Structure 1
C-alpha cells in the first residue's frame, strides 16, 4: 500500500486553509468583555455626575470617546479591542474624577490660606 502523493501546490493550499482556520479560532476564543464594559460605563457615568465636567473636561471627554469606541468594537465583535478601550475609558474617567477632586481640595486650601491671612491681619491691627 502506497501513500498518496501530494503536490507542493496542494500542500501550500492546505497550509493556508489551516492557518486561516487557526486564525479564526483565535479570534473566536476571546470572550466579550461584558464586565469591563459595565465597569467603564458606570465609572464614566459617575464621573459625568461629579465636578469632572467642570474641572477635568478633557479627561472626561477622552473617557467618553474611548467608551464609545469600545461600544463600536463590541458591535463589530472585536472583543480584544473593546476590552482595551473599555479599560482605558475606565482609567481616563478615574483620572477625571481624581483631577477634579484635587482641584476642589486646592481651592479649599486656598480659601483656608486666605482666612488665616485675614485673621493674622486683624490680630496685628489689634495690637
Structure 2
C-alpha cells in the first residue's frame, strides 16, 4: 500500500538498486487509483512464492502471506523475517482494504509463518520486532 511505497522512486534512483514487488499486487504498483500516487511505482521484477532475491550477498525467500492484500509478501533470510503488514507484535494487519481477507491472513500466519523456527526474528512494516515463538504464545488474533 501507499504507506510503504512513497519513497520507492527516490530510493531506487539514489541508490541505484532494483525494486521487487509481489506479482499479485501489480495493480497497486501500476494504477494511481490504488496506490494514491500520480504515476506508477517503478518495479524491476515481480516475485511469487518461493522466488529468491539476492541482495548484497544475502538470499531472501519470498513467502506469499495474503490477507492484508492479495499480494502481501514476507521475506525470509534465516533467522530474519520481514513481515510487512501481515504480522505485528501481538497483532495482525488490517483486512478492510480492497482485496483484504481476514481468514486468508490468519491462514498465512498460522500455516506459513508459524512453521518457521520459534527464534525467527520478525520485522513488521510498523512497530517493534518480535519473534515467531512470542507471537505463537501471545498474539490474541491467532489463538
TM range (shorter): under 0.3
Work out which of the two has the higher radius of gyration on C-alpha atoms and give 1 or 2.
1
> Normalized per residue, which structure has more strand?
2
Higher RCO, 1 vs 2 (CA within 8 Å, ≥6 residues apart): 1
TM-score, with length taken from structure 1:
0.21
TM (normalized to structure 2)? 0.20
Query: Which protein is richer in helix relative to its size?
Result: 1
